[in-house]
Structure 1
Amino acid sequence: LFDKLNGKELSYNNLVDVDAAVNLMEEFRDAPPTFAVLKHTNVCGLATRDTVFDAWTDALAGDNISAFGGILISNTAIDLQTAEAIDKLFYEVLIAPDFDGDALEFLSKKKKRILLRLKQYPSRKHVFKSLLNGVVHQDADRKKATPSDLKTVTKLAPTPEQVEDLLFAEIIAKHLKSNTISIVKNKQLIGMGCGQTSRVDALKQAIDKAHFFGFDTKGAVMASDAFFPFPDCVEIAHTDGIDAVIQPGGSIKDQLSIDYCDQHGMAMVMTGVRHFRH
């Protein structure tokens, strides 16, 4: 899958993080230049832009604190300009489909820095987990929502631009530990909350992060990896200026959230697929 071009031996934790990074970026293999930053398998920065340099810049801007010591991955070859910008950050691993010659020479000056050339994406069909002195397995979560999969359940339909952001946010939520909320604006992750025991807490964490890093959430969209049992999350989102939501649906109380959105001019779409990553 890889050519290791530089750096120390990959540790167990490195390999787990690399696996998470590659599974995430596979979702963007055919997208314009996209860059992601992960920490402890969770994506904390992600952006799609016209150039790899701009994608890196905006991915890092999503959370430049968590990025320290993280795993970086690009779906586009790394050029020298991007390499020089990346070099300002301490990170464990950088993964890309290729490196320009001068970029590779520059990045290889730090001998312990791990540089991986991704030759192909793994065709993961199953997920295995060791527990209770045994191993369980399940089918991998490979479902990727498309515009035709989205069911608009509110009176107001999302705009084409919002649909793009909603699908972007849904991919992020899919790759974060549940309970999770991702907030996206203009194909940039601007706030995320993950691993929370309450979906409300995940949303509050996501909003707090967005504000802390200087983002305006007005006009942003949000994704939830599972349904809303109550309308509290859409109420909080509306108060903060978020105006479109993507979620799987399936709660017996879905209508409460739908009604709130209708009353406050928000768009909501449902995918019918719950991710709920553990």
Structure 2
Amino acid sequence: MTERKIKSALISVYHKDGLGPIVDTLNNLGVTIYSTGGTETFIRDRGIKVVPVEDLTGYPSILDGRVKTLHPKVHGGILARREEDHLSQLAKYDIPEIDLIIVDLYPFEETVANTEEEELIIEKIDIGGIALIRAAAKNYKDVVIVPSREDYATLQHILDEKGGVTELTDRRQLARRAFATSSHYDTAIFNYFNEDGGLPALKISQMNATPLRYGENPHQEATFFGRMDGMFTKLNGKDVSYNNLVDIDAAVGMMREFQSGDPAFIILKHTNACGVAVRPTQLEAWQTALSSDNVSAFGGILITNKSVELGTAQEIDKLFYEVLIAPDFTDSARELLSKKSKRILLQFHHLDQQTKSFKTLLNGVVVQDTDLKTEGAADFTVVTDREPTTEEVTDLVFANKCAKHLKSNTIALVKDNQMISMGCGQTSRVDALKQAIQKAETFGFSTKGAVMASDAFFPFSDCVEIAHDAGITAVVQPGGSIRDKDSIAACNARGMAMVTTGIRHFKH
């Protein structure tokens, strides 16, 4: 027989929200309720009879509440199989059966997020609650475990619809939730103690899951683990897809480079920027970014660092796009853009990125520091006879930021705070440069007076020579090639300026 009637319950929770209706129903069903501390007081204040755990164990709560339920008279009643041998042992030691455990753990993660005081954090490591969860989940064939307040609704349904009678499938599903809760809790504790990475172990746990329509392609299933609402408020549009998420991540990473200062607009397609511009007004920034490649912009991801105004929105609305991201939208702009119900509008709360990046490779996972390094003019080392002009330095900083976020091999061409073209994802740096030059010409841009950024060093002087022939006057690159002198000499011979950063920005 797989059905089990709930006749007794032990309740020990941190958050009391939502608990009231449950204890009311348990009382109406004639369930014996055991409890401790604040939970016991909460139940008694509702006029419901409750048995203190101290009366069951014969021991008071000790060590400032660190030890309350860790006792054989508690765990024996939870772990006993409802079989003759175990039941006879319960009878011998006067241990009651406990059919239902309701727990809500100390808020460890919230405490870590809100304080750096170690003593407070340590005291929010739940011991008794975790023990109750694991014991009840282990004995799921006979015992019901409710491991967090997020599972109150499931229990309430069982109580209301089934009169407190559970099936094996009910108990096993809750046990699965219980082990997910306990493992997530332990992962958070471990990561706190291993913040310095002293123990080489990878522990990741995300309890928030959003199924996506499909993955990168329709035949691939996908789920997003995390809380998008921690970064964005979704104001309009269809469900965000896998490919949208990948592009949004790229957009956020790149806009971090341009977040402060004058209005900036970035247009991305397949994680690569096809238009980047900074201008005195937002409308100018949008129009300038779009002019870089108004073909690739179709169906793209758009991001800006300023509140979207109506005038800008009217121009954006002429283009088909997937996602528009901004720190805010004026009411009139939002009203206009929301008329197209499938267009996704995201209001970002911040543009912070995780400090570690993860990727599955072969039969494992590789973890690396996220590339959060950004070089400014102070990081440039002039290696040529000619120093770049003030205007060239401004554009070199801009170009270097662009190249950092384009797929390798990449070349970014910039003039007057606009990425006029780029070549990316090429197996040859020469091909990337030729692609950038040809693309600039296609969209009517002159490369004369432009600057060039490369994500990695030049192994030969050919890129410098090609760039000069196209009218490019200054170059920024990491340096580090054993043949750097060849590229430097080529610049000197042509009156070009070159600076190095010492930082490579490969992106694969």
Aligned twin of 2:312: 82
Residue 200 of structure 1, aligned match among 412, 421, 430: 430
The reply on whether 1:149 has 2:368 as its aligned counterpart is no
Separation (CA, whole Å) in 1 of partners of 2:355 and 2:293: 31
- Return the letter of the residue paired with 2:385: K
1:233 corresponds to: 463
TM score, norm. by length of structure 2:
0.54
Task: Mark the runs of 5 or more structure 1 residues left unpaired by the alignment.
Answer: none
Tell me if 1:96 matches 2:321: no
1:191 and 2:415 aligned? no
Structure with more relative contact order (C-alpha pairs < 8 Å, separation 6 or more) = 1
Look up the equivalent residue of 2:495 and give its one-letter code: G
Q: Distance in 1 between matches of 2:353 and 2:274?
A: 24
**Separation (CA, whole Å) in 2 of partners of 1:107 and 1:123:** 27
Q: Deviations over 1:95-127 (max 9, x none)?
A: 000001000000000001000001111232011
Question: Which residue pairs with 1:215 in the alignment?
Answer: 445
Task: Note the residue ranges of structure 2 that are not aligned, 5 or more in a row.
Answer: 1-230
2:316 partner amino acid: I
Alignment equivalent of 2:346, drawn from 116, 124, 128: 116
Is structure 2 residue 279 aligned with structure 1 residue 49?
A: yes
What secondary structure does 2:302 align onto? Answer: strand
Contact 2:253 2:353 (C-alpha < 8 Å) held by counterparts: no
Q: 1:3 is matched with which residue?
A: 233
Deviation at 1:33, TM superposition (A): 0.2
The answer to whether structure 1 residue 172 and structure 2 residue 402 are counterparts is yes
* 1:199 counterpart letter in structure 2: R
Higher normalized helix content (fraction of residues): 2
Determine whether 1:29 maps to 2:269: no
In structure 2, C-alpha distance between the alignment counterparts of 1:147 and 1:252, rounded to whole Å: 24
Once the two structures are TM-superposed, the CA of residue 146 in structure 1 deviates from its matched residue by 1.3
Distance in 2, Cα, partners of 1:87 & 1:217: 30
The count of aligned residue pairs is 278
Q: In 2, Cα distance between the equivalents of 1:116 and 1:133?
A: 36
Q: Which AA in structure 2 matches 1:14?
A: N
Tell me the secondary structure at the aligned position of residue 95 of structure 1.
strand
For residues 301 and 322 of structure 2, the distance between their equivalents in structure 1, rounded to whole angstroms, comes to 6
SS at match of 1:27: helix
Provide the rounded CA distance (Å) in 2 between the counterparts of 1:133 and 1:66: 36
| 2:358 alignment partner in structure 1 | 128
Q: Are the equivalent residues in 1 in contact too, given 2:326–2:347 (CA < 8 A)? A: yes
Percent of paired sites with the same residue: 64
Partners of 2:290 and 2:347 lie apart in 1 by 21
Q: Give the AA of the match of 2:280.
A: D
Deviation at 1:148, TM superposition (A): 1.1
> Structure 2: how far apart are the matches of 1:97 and 1:56?
15
TM-score by length of 1: 0.99
Residue by residue over 1:102-161, the C-alpha shift from the partner in whole angstroms, topping out at 9 and shown as x without a partner, is 000000000010000011112320111112132111001111101111000000000111
1:70 counterpart = 2:311: no
Is the radius of gyration larger for structure 1 or structure 2?
Answer: 2
Q: 1:217, 1:146 → 2: CA distance?
A: 23
